Structure 1
Amino acid sequence: MTMTYLPQELIRKKRDGLVLSDAEITFMVQGITSGQLSDAQLGAFAMAVFQRGMTMPERITLTQQMMCSGKVLNWQNMDLNGPVVDKHSTGGVGDKVSLMLGPIVAACGAYVPMISGRGLGHTGGTLDKFDSIPGYDAHPDEQSFKSLVKQVGCAIIGQTAELAPADQRLYATRDVTATVESIDLITASILSKKLAASLDALVMDVKTGNGAFAAEMSMAQVLSQSISQVATGAGVPTRCLITDMNQVLGRSVGNAVEMAECIEFLLNPAQADERLVDLTLELAAHMLDLSGVADNLNDAKDKALAALNQGRAAQVFARMVAGLGGPTDLLEKPQHYLPQAPIVKPILASRSGYVCAMDVRAIGLSLVTLKAGRSKADDAIDYAVGLSGMAQIGDYIEQGQPLAVAHVRNDNQLALINQELVNLIQLAPDASRLEPLVKEIYQA
């Protein structure tokens, strides 16, 4: 039986910087889920945590109680012959890694039940990219989801109202009470949803740079330490990679254009963008290593590369798409199914030089203004709009050569994105030093 407390007393306790007991945190999470905690009390609690922080044991309890606030998936009766493993990214511009990563890891013998989110703000969402595929059902019932994971090895779907409902209410409150940037609450939010999938291992891609939520390296480090310690403390071995988001990831930004890049990546990996291949295989290797599918990181990299190069990952992707209601021949004729913009035109460089920097966040936001992303949760998306053929840092661009190719609806959109992009991608006479793709790795 749960003890009864006065919410205002627990808010006061946290406001004054005191530590909440497991029972007190459990009471607060149950109040969030049931509605017993009013919106005013929830906002005050979020602000108290934001201002005063939580100890590591408090974070672990908060995460576990939020995880248990709804349905927790159970794989015991599915008779799986491999580990259940997942990856989560804190989000970036052009970050389409999950689309290829899940199938690669599944093709190596692990099971990947990836429950992903929609984009909000300047970063795109994995789910929005899959929504560009006609017929793809990102919200199957639980039994269909689990069956597909068993049959194919991978299923990428959307968050359900049944998983971690406490997080859904707390997240919405944080959004309107200026308490989003709390390491304690970010950790609990991310992990409560992931751990509700009953994983054997989790790999986190924590982005840092001008296109990332954690723009400063110091914040990425604190968040990585928190996530790896809390998840491992909650019983799921977790490894965090801090990776660079000072340039667009891959050569496209948008929904249908990123899906097209993903399909091309799976079919012709030798022609794919090098950084995108490197990061995808690096994350895949850590998933295989941490979950025990591979003996070590080098063995894991060999397995992931073979699954990609031999076309086994592409087969998993195709079976997953068909299994969730999408076209059975999407990989053969992607252009036939993915939405196409009526105007496809290059954006030309006004002078020559090496690409030395880009304002990634501003590039993401400029696409939001063209409806490729959302500024509010209920905004409609134009899946056809985007950029392909993006120049990367280190590329030499001649005056009059393309910085990118715009996929837009009309001439006004073309003029807008043209004006923006020319100012957001910087050119210099000499090539600059490339940032390392993976900056640091944390594991508790």
Structure 2
Amino acid sequence: MEDKIIIDQFIQNPSEGNMMALIERAIQDTLSNKNIAYLAKKLGESGEVVQLKCKDSFVADIPSTGGPSSLSTLICPLVLMELNCQIPKLGVKGRPAGGIDVLYQIPDYKIHFDSKQITNILESSGYCHFIVSKKYAPLDARLFDYRSKVGAKAIPSLVIASILSKKIAAGLNYTGLDVRVAEYGNFGHSFEVAERNANRFIAVAKDVGINAKCFLNDFSIEQQSYIGRGESLLALLMIFENNMNYLLKRHLNNCIGMALNVPPREAIKDKQITTENLYRNFGKNLEDQGSSIEKFNKKAKDIQKQHYNIIKSSGNGFLKIDMKMLRDTIVKYQNEFHTDSLFPDPCGVILLRNSNDYIVKNESILTYRAEGEFKKEFENELRACFSINCTPKQTASYKILSYA
């Protein structure tokens, strides 16, 4: 049976049988770029599509392929605001800390809007961060939930279609993609595989009318030190106060670099990106979405006060951090924590030392935050994420890809 027929059967009747047939075909890697583009459009247009009043504006965003320790989905929109872009950001739950679930920790920050409200917010500040729902790309949400259920999330052709469907629903004409290369990555375990999938993403994006660039980052090591939903807010506060350690400063520069590479060159002419401007843009977004900079500051400082638990090194040598295990540990307790919150936030970590640092026995390597009776168990599982080696780990590099 032809791939397009299988896609059409799923679109017309998204039953589990038809979803599995599509997944099986995607696993065989027979879907052409043309058919992936066709699927992305059908998914993106299965609900409402954001309609912007200014048709000539640069409508842009930078999603990611998922992974811990990055703030790109929080910082890049603030940079794009400074470039006079429109950023209708359709977000999904992160593991452990996606942009939408981090911002939701700020009291009164709203993430559910109808199309008119989104348009009004975009007219006000240029940036609206809202969550996937039955209104926007509902067929993509249904397929994604089923893929999660059957363990079929890391299938590149379906990842590409899913990401682009949300950009179609949001009305984008420019997008970046933060490709997080790691053993748990949805775009490949190695730079070679991730680069191949990134080039395919760029080609499919062109077929649906979106100009795309991909940024390949090594996520086998941490990008910055603040890991967790609340901790990401604290990291933003450190940026806005210019109180950054080396790793956070480097990560901020990386995020700025990604954002500057997405819109056309004329959008960035004579633009100065400062932490003061990012802080101002962040405040605008908070107000437009029902919260305030004061509530953000208080929340971030409350998180900081909870970081009094310390884990120290067990020996001398080069520090190795298992980022997959660290992510899985935090996600485990997020999922087990019983609360009415849409995005529970019972724990988080701040790294005091980095991967490949030489450390000595009893040196402090992190602080952690933990709520409830699982604190001791959480600490024990955290300890297992860190080891001491005789030699430093070899790391990969950073790469930018765009349509030739």
Same-fold status (TM-score > 0.5): yes
Q: Trace 1:225-374 onto structure 2 (pairs within 5 A).
A: 225-268=199-242, 271=245, 273-289=248-264, 292-294=266-268, 303=271, 306-309=272-275, 311-330=276-295, 332-335=297-300, 344-355=308-319, 357-371=320-334
Tell me what 2:114 maps to.
141
Q: CA deviation digits over 1:165-219, x for unaligned, max 9?
A: 2212222222334443332222111111112211121001111124533323343
Q: Secondary structure at the match of 1:293?
A: helix
Taking structure 2 as the reference length, the TM-score comes to 0.89
Q: 1:195 to 1:400 in 2, by over 3 A?
A: same
Mapped to 2, the partners of 1:374 and 1:143 lie a distance apart of 36
Q: Secondary structure at the match of 1:268?
A: coil
Alpha-carbon shift at residue 102 of structure 1 (Å): 0.8
Q: Is the 8 A contact 1:29 1:69 kept in 2?
A: no
Q: Deviations over 1:235-259 (max 9, x none)?
A: 1110111111012221111111111
Q: 1:82 to 1:48 in 2, by over 3 A?
A: closer
Give the TM-score, by structure 1 length: 0.81
Structure 2: state its 5+ residue gaps.
none
- C-alpha distance 395-178 of structure 1, shift in aligned 2 (>3 A): closer
| Bigger Rg, which one | 1
Structure 1 residues 146 and 339: alpha-carbon distance in aligned structure 2, compared to 1, 3 A threshold: farther
Question: Residue 349 of structure 1 contacts residue 422 of structure 1 at CA under 8 Å; is this kept in 2?
Answer: no
SS state at 1:58 partner? helix
CA offset at residue 325 of structure 1?
A: 1.2
Which residues in structure 2 correspond to 1:69-80 (within 5 Å)?
A: 69-75=46-52, 77=53, 79=54
| Structure 1 unmatched runs, 5+ | 1-12
Match of 1:393 in 2: 355
Instruction: Provide the C-alpha distance between the structure 2 equivalents of 1:341 and 1:28, rounded to a whole number of angstroms.
Output: 54
Equivalence for 1:435: 396
Q: 162-171 vs 357-366, which deviates more? A: 162-171
SS in 1 for 2:294: coil
State the shift of 1:86 in Å: 0.6
Quote the Cα distance in structure 2 between the aligned partners of 1:244 and 1:280.
14
Pair 1:150–1:395, CA change in 2 (3 A):
farther
Cα gap change, 1:318/1:374 in structure 2, threshold over 3 Å: closer, same or farther? farther
1:363 aligned counterpart, secondary structure: helix
The CA deviation at 1:334 is: 4.0
Q: Secondary structure at the match of 2:213?
A: strand
2:24 is aligned, of 47, 53, 77, to 47
- Residue pair 1:88, 1:205 contacting (<8 A) in 2 also: yes
What's the CA shift for 1:221?
Answer: 2.1
Aligned-residue offset at 1:328: 4.0
- Three-state SS of the structure 2 residue aligned to 1:391 is coil
1:109 is displaced (CA, Å) by: 1.8
Task: Give the distance between the partners of 1:186 and 1:238, measured in 2 at CA.
Answer: 15
- How has the CA–CA distance of structure 1 residues 62 and 184 changed in structure 2, closer, same or farther, with 3 Å as cutoff? same
Letter of the 2:37 partner, please give it. I
How many Å separate the matches in 2 of 1:136 and 1:209?
32
Q: Retained in 2: the 8 A contact 1:265–1:271? A: no
Q: Which moved more, 1:135-144 or 1:207-216?
A: 207-216
Give the aligned partner of residue 169 of structure 2: 196
Which one of the candidate residues 176, 182, 191 is aligned to 2:149? 176
Q: Which residue is equivalent to 1:164?
A: 137
Q: Which moved more, 1:140-149 or 1:212-221?
A: 212-221
Distance 1:382 1:37 in 2: 30
Q: Does the 8 Å CA contact 2:6/2:21 hold for their aligned counterparts?
A: no
TM superposition shift of 1:426: 3.0
**CA 1:434–1:343 in 2, change beyond 3 Å: closer, same or farther?**
closer
Q: In structure 1, how many angstroms separate the alpha carbons of the residues matched to 2:337 and 2:201? A: 27
Partner AA of 1:83 in structure 2: F
Give the aligned partner of residue 37 of structure 2: 60
The one-letter amino acid paired with 1:425 is F
Identity %: 18
Flag the 1:74–1:29 CA change in 2: closer, same or farther, 3 A. Answer: farther
CA contact (8 A) 1:340 1:384 kept: no
Structure 2: how far apart are the matches of 1:111 and 1:194? 12
The alignment covers a number of residue pairs equal to 401
Q: Decide whether aligned partners of structure 1 residues 331 and 380 sit closer, same or farther in structure 2, where only a CA change above 3 A counts.
A: closer
Check 1:332–1:171 CA distance in 2 against 1; reply closer, same or farther (3 A cut): closer
Query: Could you tell me whether the CA contact under 8 Å between 1:25 and 1:61 is conserved in 2?
Result: no
Cα 1:270–1:289 change in 2 (3 A) is: farther
